Structure 1
Amino acid sequence: MRKFLRITLIVAAGFVALVVATLATTSIVNVVAGNSEAEKIEPYGRLVPVDGKNMNVVVKGDGPETVVLLPGFGTAAPALDFKPLVAELLPRYKVVVVEPFGYGLSDQTDKPRTTDNITSEVHEALAGLNIDRYVLMGHSIAGIYALDYANKYRAEVQAFVGIDSSVPNQPGMDDKLPIGAMKAAKALGLTRVLVSMAGDPYDGLPYDEATKEQIRMLSLKNTSTATYSNEMENFERNFTAGKSQSFPHDLPVLEFVQAANHDVEGWIPLHQQQVASVDHGEMVTLDATHYLHHTKSREIVENLNRFMVGVKK
């Protein structure tokens, strides 16, 4: 029995030592790789002063109407991720992609990621570029921020267009998330390991290899930062605040919605309720993933053009 216990302890100690050595290796590799990648990330867009920091904004085209694009949560490089949609919007529209703090090439911030702070910062960036009349188009969680934004700055917003956008009453947004574990996984280099094992999430999509590599590096850089994590920590608060808001009744609202969302109960009815709450609202279902703009950008822009013509009548 003593011999068995001694062997068990030796095996356990060896296993612990192996785990510690592995984590030490992945941590060191992660730091070295991160420093190397930081030198390879290529600048794009322009840095706009906002609240004492710099927010990255990409402006393309000179069309008579302007579309402002806001990303969904965790989209590491919004201006690059939106490339197929930007290409379809040009040249009819002037396109502005805002990368909020913690996204893309924008600075990090220690200011709480509340809806009020996020919308005020986005507006300050647009004001700094003298952009004061536009269609606000947002993906995923941007739908929550857009409710606040449209009420604050109604005189500037011509319409809201949702790309499978979040709605305040969707279930599950009060679930507790493993934020601490995610931070630890990044610090230990495990996030990098998982990303390498997961394969290319943009495989088969209209992105060139150089763009995909930039997105990969920015994803590793921006995931689970303090800014990223704080936005997650504010999910419940921001969704709860959204329940007391609705779009102004005279704001045209067009929402593109994933036709078969099996993760969120009542996804389509929730959006039907939202578009029914305004005088000029419409919902279009698309057979695609949550990132509708990856594969359905042409359909999105065709329907946007038609919708805006109807709004002007």
Structure 2
Amino acid sequence: MKVLEEGKNKRKSRLKKIIVVAIIMLLIGTVCQSIMVEKEMKILLPKGEIFNINNHNMYINSIGSGRNTVVFVAGSGTPSSFTDFYRMQMELKPYAETVSFDNAGFGLSEKTDLPRTINVLTEELHELLKKSGQPSPYILVGHSLASLEVIHFAQKYPNEVKGIVLLDGGSPEFYANDSEVKSYILNRISAGLRITGIARALGSLDIKLPLLGENLRYNGLPEDIKKVDLAMYYRYLGNPMNLEYIKNINENATEVMKNGHLNNVPLVIISSDSGEDWEKSQKELLHWSNRSSQETLPNSSHYIHWTNNDYVVEKIKSLIFLTSNIEDN
């Protein structure tokens, strides 16, 4: 009995030591994460401009030239529009003026206390495009949850939109009934990995997490842009500001549904092969315009503009040429 008791005490002692070491490591990781974030944001600044919109500063990046303006709208939680759309903007710059921007609380855009309702989001984008001198009508390219923003923008400003491309975006019907809880939980788990420095430690071992498509995005960027991308990722993974967007998903989708059909706006839907429920959502999107098309790409991921970049770029180019020809005729 005495031997058994001694064995139990040793196991308890080892467990306590492991717990203490783990706590110390997490504390060290938390301090290092805080120090590195501040250091990185002072030296790694992407090119672009800042405009005061709705009493907070918003970042916008414009590349290229031409008769057409292509506006990229990032999906929920994406740390930086600059790095997420960098490759596509560079490849499309001979064909059009391309624009990416950060919603409030992401990238180089300031936080705001204004509610993240769909009307506020579209009005802020509209004002940002006007203040930065981007000529309309626009081709809007929205990834993921940004499908709601680009559809609603076309509803509010129909004369300023001549085409829409959705990059694995859900239908308003899907988002109206989707559980906001799972997005909240993923955000909080991601925040834990960021705050404790675990995500950064894994990154130093060349392990890029699939969260927010970082494992795909990082590998597809040139070396100098990779530095900006990692800085943004380590700063905004599990961004608490994103909770303000998440809690309005259902309400925003319902508002979009109330505003109705897009009529003859060309709508190009590019979808990942993510199961039956998602496939249903993609088919629902077909009914939002009289001029819609949809294709599901095999071996694709939710960040479809990284797994299938060449295809996406060609689709956007096709829409640029199509709308230009219609205007000429």
Same fold, TM exceeding 0.5?
yes
Q: 1:122 aligns with which of 106, 120, 125?
A: 125
8 Å contact from structure 2 (residues 165, 316) kept in 1: no
Kindly indicate whether residue 286 of structure 2 is the aligned counterpart of residue 275 of structure 1: yes
Unaligned residue ranges in structure 1 (runs of 5+): none
Q: 1:301 to 1:81 in 2, by over 3 A?
A: same
Between the two proteins, what is the percent identity of the paired residues?
A: 22
Equivalent residue letter for 1:174: S
Q: 1:292 aligns with which of 281, 304, 315?
A: 304
Q: 1:170 to 1:82 in 2, by over 3 A?
A: same
CA distance in 1, matches of 2:67, 2:316: 15
1:96-139 deviation per Cα after TM superposition (whole angstroms, max 9, x unaligned): 21221122222222323222222221112112123342111211
1:144-197 deviation per Cα after TM superposition (whole angstroms, max 9, x unaligned): 122222111112112222122221233783151324444344322233234445
8 Å contact from structure 1 (residues 73, 141) kept in 2: yes
Q: 2:60 aligns with which of 16, 32, 57?
A: 57
TM-superposed CA distance for 1:234, in Å, is 3.0
CA distance in 1, matches of 2:261, 2:43: 42
CA distance in 2, matches of 1:244, 1:73: 22
CA distance in 1, matches of 2:261, 2:158: 9
Give the match for residue 261 of structure 1.
274
Give the alignment's TM-score, normalised by structure 1. 0.86
Equivalent residue letter for 1:289: S
CA distance in 2, matches of 1:273, 1:309: 28
8 Å contact from structure 1 (residues 254, 307) kept in 2: no
Q: 2:149 aligns with which of 138, 145, 164?
A: 145
When the two chains are superposed, the root-mean-square deviation of aligned CA atoms in Å is 2.7
Q: 1:103 aligns with which of 101, 106, 110?
A: 106
Give the match for residue 32 of structure 2.
29
8 Å contact from structure 1 (residues 67, 93) kept in 2: yes
Give the match for residue 211 of structure 2.
none
Q: 1:91 to 1:273 in 2, by over 3 A?
A: same
CA distance in 2, matches of 1:290, 1:8: 45
Give the match for residue 173 of structure 1.
178
Give the match for residue 22 of structure 2.
19
SS of the residue aligned with 2:43? coil
SS of the residue aligned with 2:215? coil
Unaligned residue ranges in structure 2 (runs of 5+): 209-213
Kindly indicate whether residue 196 of structure 2 is the aligned counterpart of residue 188 of structure 1: yes
Comparing 109-118 and 39-48, the one that deviates more: 109-118
TM-superposed CA distance for 1:70, in Å, is 0.8
Give the match for residue 214 of structure 1.
228
Q: 2:248 aligns with which of 229, 234, 237?
A: 234
Give the match for residue 301 of structure 1.
316
Equivalent residue letter for 2:247: E
8 Å contact from structure 1 (residues 62, 94) kept in 2: yes
CA distance in 2, matches of 1:218, 1:96: 19
CA distance in 2, matches of 1:206, 1:43: 17
CA distance in 1, matches of 2:45, 2:143: 24
8 Å contact from structure 2 (residues 53, 127) kept in 1: yes
Give the alignment's TM-score, normalised by structure 2. 0.83
CA distance in 2, matches of 1:73, 1:66: 23
SS of the residue aligned with 1:169? helix
Aligned residue pair count: 310
TM-superposed CA distance for 1:31, in Å, is 1.6
Give the match for residue 251 of structure 1.
265
Give the match for residue 79 of structure 2.
76
SS of the residue aligned with 1:155? helix
Higher-helix-fraction structure: 2
1:56-114 deviation per Cα after TM superposition (whole angstroms, max 9, x unaligned): 11112231121111112222221222122213322221112122112222222232322
Give the match for residue 88 of structure 1.
91
CA distance in 1, matches of 2:102, 2:218: 25
SS of the residue aligned with 1:201? helix
